[in-house]
Amino acid sequence: MIGRPEPAHSGWRSLAPDITPLLDIIFIVLVFLLLTANIPLQTLEVDLPKTDSEALSSIQDTQSITINLLAGSPAWALQGERYEDWEQFKPVLHAQADALKETDLILASDKDVTVENMLKLLAFLQEQQIHATQILMEDD
């Protein structure tokens, strides 16, 4: 009978491939996917109007409060009065919170304003439960 000679120093295991590195890589990839798959995304809901662009840019009511978002050093303005940063502007908004709830609020933003400033303001308005807001948009 023809057979394979078995050396004394090695056994059947020496011919089998070692899959330990493969299992290590699979385990690392699995742990990575499990850690990154369950990251909750934080969103801020904004209700956009569903009317034509002419109705968006026209302001009907004269009883309104305007908040301007400016690009540059005075980044905020309320009714034309400018404030340098958010720490100066937020107490003014707190003082006007009741008036903001009762009247129409108009947000006028420069196109070069950072998204961070817009989100700070929208998060503040949502925190104060101010829902009626008009956002001015410029026609192209």
Residue 92 lies in a domain: yes
* pLDDT for 29: 95
Residue 53 lies in a domain: no
Residue 68 lies in a domain: yes
Domain with 67, as residue range(s), is 60-135
Q: Distance between CA atoms of 111 and 126, rounded to whole angstroms? A: 22
Please list the rounded mean pLDDT of every run of 10 residues in the chain (140 residues).
57 72 94 81 72 54 75 82 85 83 81 82 84 66
* pLDDT for 28: 95
Residue 93 lies in a domain: yes
Residue 108 lies in a domain: yes
pLDDT for 97-125, tens place per residue? 888 777 878 888 888 888 888 888 888 88
One-letter amino acid identity for 36?
T
Q: What are phi and psi of 49, to 5 degrees?
A: -70, 155
* pLDDT for 61: 44
Domain harbouring 119, CATH code: 3.30.420.270
Q: What are phi and psi of 126, to 5 degrees?
A: -70, -40
Question: Domains in the chain: how many in total?
Answer: 1
* pLDDT for 9: 58
DSSP state of 118: H
Residues ≥6 apart with Cβ < 8 Å to 73: 84
